[in-house]
Chain A
Amino acid sequence: MRRIFAFIFCFLFSLSALAQNLDSVVIVGGAIGTIVSSQYAIYQSLVKRELKGWSTQETGTSVKLENQCGIETEFHLIGDYKRNYIMVGISNNSGEQVSLNFRKVKFVVNNSSHRYPGYSYQVTDELVNNGWWVLASIPLPNKEEFATYNDLKVEIPVIRSGKKKPCHIVTEFKRTGHYPKEEESYNVFEFMLDLGPSIAQSGKVRDLGVPNFIWGMNFNWYYSAKHGAGMAFQWEDGFNDSPYGYSSYGSIFSGDFHYTHRTFFKPKVSLNFEPGIGFQGVYSNYSCNSCGTGTNSTFMVDYRLMLQYAFADLNIADTSVMNYFMGAGIVHQYGFSGETEGSRLGLLFRLGFGF
């Protein structure tokens, strides 16, 4: 059992590490003429898709090439399921060392208000030698706000060797359309621990006695903001007053594969409906006196209805992509045959994390 828990922990930790890795702010830089993972970096960056809502007819992209302050720059607006970024490619052939002042990047929104990127403390200025290039992803304000932008001007201060005043690289993007899928932010993977009391039983399952506690694990994968699929395992522990003599160590176990429908009321609040099909059975550490002849593993259908609250904005503009949430709701299971035939209802409290 200890090994299984260790494996599950390592698995989840690996997934979160992978997710964090894909989301670093400044990606990579290198010297022209050396073997560095340049195309690897570009490929990685474009895993975040170009925002169609800002692409032009001529290129099918949002790309902007500029030659300012003596250095060449390339800008793209890109995004993933969580948030949007400005990807900047900078090539310094000015003959001097320059410093890119990433901490003082400024966005001018709709020609009126100003915004600054929500960096983490890890982001620093970047020194770029002559002949070197840098790729960086600068996080933009959250998607909900970004959807209201029609014009975005970006200013990056550049300080050249021996100069006190910065020169500003400026480029401007204009929106060409709205794509709802680019304007919503959501978790793709969610892992949850469900705990709660059993509150009602009916049918033959009632003969087993009254289980008093539910605990379970649940995993969801979302292929869009609203729709997903997952699997869950659940135990209902401790039979009391069983006519068949089940001890308090007995439990009903169940597992399901389910569809998940998620409705967001607010960016942090969602209602999850998880109908599924699976199996269930009876497990007891003590031998029972007369367990009957029913099968120990039977077909069942179930659903969970959960209200979830995320502790942080799903699209908070820093380098962290993982967030935590809690929830509450009900689980309802119905077994079709055997000792667990009948329905069971329980309350669930949920703790989970997603990315």
Chain B
Amino acid sequence: MKLLCLLFLASCSTYFPPIRGQYTLTTLKHFMISNMYVNPSNLREQNGFLIINYDVIVKNVDKESHDIDVEKSVIEISERSFPMECKRYHEHDEKFSMASGAQTRLICLARIRKSDFAISDYESILEIPLDKEIAKFVYLLRAEDFK
């Protein structure tokens, strides 16, 4: 009976997804940025591609407004760079201006062809350009993702 109880308790804790990165709340020179909205379970596969969604909140903490162009966002895996599509949450644009104190949300989408990689764990780095600075986040891809 004790074993049954333990099994039940254990089963309650087995459905959580693996860790793929860590919480990052940091300030660059002019921007504050958080990745609170990254959901580790939302990596999915579609027609031989891995689809990665990455969601960040950005605040302009400078006294002046800044022009942002996130068109050149990339994901770097094993020293190879792949383009990543980033857009603003509400306006769906890639180029915009952020006033002093303004907050926005960027939703990024990366598509990785599974067959381009050996089955292994990879520590990928997502790079999002913010004016003259670059916000970087670590994202762990697991060997199981490439099977």
Contacts and interface: CB of A to CB of B under 8 A. Distances in A.
B17 A43 contact: yes
B16 to A, nearest CB: 6
A72 B22 contact: no
B34 A65 contact: yes
Q: Dominant SS at the A interface?
A: mixed
Interface residues of B, number: 33
Given A40-B40, A72-B26, A89-B34, A61 B105 contact: yes
Interface in B81-113: 89-90, 102-105
Contacts of A43: 16-17, 39-41
Nearest to A34: B22
A123 B99 CA distance: 39
A14 B19 contact: no
B22 A63 contact: no
Contact of B57 (A6, A63, A73, A133): A63
Contacts of B89: 58-60
Contacts of B17: 40, 43
Given A39-B40, A65-B59, A74-B34, A18 B22 contact: no
A46 B41 CA distance: 12
B129 interface: no
13 contacts: A7-B4, A11-B8, A39-B21, A39-B23, A40-B16, A58-B104, A59-B90, A60-B90, A61-B57, A72-B25, A72-B32, A89-B25, A133-B25
Interface of B: 1, 4-5, 8-9, 12, 16-17, 19-23, 25-27, 32, 34, 36-41, 57, 59, 61, 89-90, 102-105
Given A39-B19, A59-B103, A135-B23, 9 more contacts: A10-B1, A10-B8, A11-B8, A38-B21, A43-B39, A46-B36, A57-B90, A59-B90, A74-B57
